[in-house]
Amino acid sequence: MGPLQGFKIIEVAGIGPTQFCGMLLADMGASVIRITRPGGNDTGVGLSGKFNLMNRSRPSIPLDLKTASGVGTLLKLCDTADALFEGFRPGVMERLGLGPDECRQRNRRLVYGRMTGWGQDGPLADTAGHDANYAALTGALAAIGEKDAGPTIPLNLVADFGGGGAYLAMGILAALLEASRSGEGQVIDAAMVDGAASLMTLFYGLHAAGIWRDERGSNFLDGAAPFYRAYRTSDNKFVVICAIEPHFFAELLETLGITDISPRDQYNRSAWQAQIEIFAAVFAGSTRDAWCETFSGKDACFAPVLSLSEAPSHEHNKARNTFIDVDGVVQPGPAPRFSRTPSAVRCGPDESPGACRDVLSEWGLTADEIFEIDAGRAYGSE
């Protein structure tokens, strides 16, 4: 079901942020179809079949956009679509004859989303890049890591998924909402560098106020503070403490039985290193699981640091079904949650183009056309 049931969205397949955006929209019930290259591998990281999790909840159909018939077929799909999004470099879709002008000439209500690293214009617009490149240009990458070491690469969460795919999805939804009132679609320029910069808004405010030092590992949210930091336990695992507020810090001290740290010194930077050494010695005295028992029911902002293999088995994640099993593959479930129109994984990320046949039927494809797609014939070919 999902809150986006009834909306039809075309995803011109790409990797990373556009995949993530398509997953979010499809999990929320939109009828999304992924347009892939015939015989191509668009995963970028060697994933295939049921393990390419961000391709779930929607079918993929091969369509050769370098042919007139392929272009014509995609334009025909635009006639009844609510939105289309793509992740090519600026100008690629225009050269194919599938730019915003051509697509929206067929359907004025069409929302056209564009996902790039650097944006549709600017000196770097045509330059190749990946997540850390975009994060680097915003100040985000420089702010993450230990004080006396280089920047830490935060997976590809900051620009690809946070500043990229999630912002593109938000932009598409906002434009669809506006189009429902105005009757006119519009073009969304979703640049990962813009999104990553937006995610840094708090820190630019703190820096302007003189609260945030412009150096890694020196601030209360970057691991420098003893109350916002991960600590090693006796079994060589880790726990993390995030006791930012004074009353949480006081409970942390009480729970640990620490009396030689004054709660009044929580934000005394000159005392931080000595406090870190005290906390580190205490946490090193017991196992991670023992600390979980000690902090059970306490408001000290404590959590165990779990691995990918451990997280799905945690009691809280199990109680909320945060992780689900699809085709034998454990994976995060849809988010966020809706009380009346719950999201769901519509189908696994099957490589078969005819997967999620109900979605293809919603787009008006006949049983014979779906059979041809399953047989490996490019949709819309002559």
CA distance to 3, 5, 30, 332, 358, per residue, from 341 (Å): 5, 9, 12, 19, 18
Are 32 and 120 members of one domain?
Answer: yes
Is pLDDT at 356 greater than 80 in this prediction? no
Are 285 and 352 members of one domain?
Answer: no
Are 247 and 285 members of one domain?
Answer: yes
Work out the mean pLDDT of the chain and round it to a whole number: 94
pLDDT category, 376, cuts 50, 70, 90? low
Helix (H) or strand (E) holding 20: helix 17-27
Range of the domain at 258: 228-232+238-304
Is pLDDT at 43 greater than 60 in this prediction? no
DSSP state of 185: -
Please count the structural domains in the chain. Answer: 2
For residue 213, which phi and psi values (nearest 5 degrees)? Answer: -80, 140
Residue 3 lies in a domain: no
Is pLDDT at 270 greater than 70 in this prediction? yes
Residue 339 lies in a domain: yes
Residue 209 lies in a domain: no
Name which of 178, 135, 173 is nearest 153 in CA terms: 135
Is pLDDT at 379 greater than 90 in this prediction? no
pLDDT category, 256, cuts 50, 70, 90? very high
Task: Indicate which CATH number applies to the domain containing 292.
Answer: 3.30.1540.10
Give the chain's largest Cα–Cα span.
79
Task: Indicate which CATH number applies to the domain containing 148.
Answer: 3.40.50.10540
Residues 6+ apart with CB under 8 A from 370: 354, 357, 360, 361
What residues act catalytically? Answer: 130, 160
Residue 27 lies in a domain: yes
Residue 223 lies in a domain: no
Residue 96 lies in a domain: yes
Helix (H) or strand (E) holding 17: helix 17-27
pLDDT digits (tens, 9 = 90+) for 230-253: 999 999 999 999 999 999 999 999
Residue 214 lies in a domain: no
Are 105 and 147 members of one domain?
Answer: yes
Is pLDDT at 41 greater than 80 in this prediction? no
For residue 208, what are its two tokens?
Answer: 């302007």
Is pLDDT at 115 greater than 90 in this prediction? yes
CA quadruple 374, 376, 379, 380: dihedral sign: negative
Are 244 and 148 members of one domain?
Answer: no
Buried b or exposed e, range 187-207, using 16+ CB within 10 angstroms: bbbbbbbbbbbebbeebeeeb
Is pLDDT at 135 greater than 90 in this prediction? yes
Residue 217 lies in a domain: no
Are 296 and 177 members of one domain?
Answer: no
Q: What is the pLDDT of residue 118?
A: 98
Q: What is the pLDDT of residue 368?
A: 79
DSSP state of 81: -
pLDDT category, 202, cuts 50, 70, 90? very high
